[in-house]
Amino acid sequence: MAKLIYSAIGSLDGYIEDAQGNFDWAAPDDELHAFVNDLEWPIGTYLYGRGGCTRRWCSGRPRLPAPINPR
C-alpha cells in the first residue's frame, strides 16, 4: 500500500491568507523552491480539492462550456 503524504502551507496561527485575502506572504525564495521541488519529485500522484485546482490551473483560462446533461 502506498503512503499518503499531506502537505500544506500555513502560518503558525493557522491562516493561509493575510487579512486582505492575499497569499503572497508565502511566496518561496529560490532555496525553498528548490527544496520543495526535490522533496516532491518522487511523488507519483497529487490530489487537489476543487478550490485549489481552480485557483492553480483555471485562473486566466477560458471557462469550460456547461455540461450537456448536468446531474
What Å distances lie between residue 43 and 3, 33, 40, 57, CA to CA?
A: 10, 16, 5, 19
Band (28; pLDDT cuts 50, 70, 90): confident
Mean pLDDT of the region 15-34? 84
Inside any domain, residue 52: yes
Instruction: Count Cα neighbours of 27 within 13 Å in the Cβ-side half-sphere.
Output: 4
Inside any domain, residue 38: yes
Inside any domain, residue 4: no
The reported pLDDT for the residue numbered 31 is 93
Mean pLDDT of the chain: 77
- pLDDT > 70? residue 48: yes
Return d(Cα 36, Cα 42) in angstroms, integer.
Answer: 11
Domain with 36, as residue range(s), is 28-58
Q: How many domains does the chain have?
A: 1
Inside any domain, residue 70: no
Inside any domain, residue 34: yes
Band (44; pLDDT cuts 50, 70, 90): confident
- pLDDT > 90? residue 67: no
Q: Is the pTM of this model over 0.85?
A: no
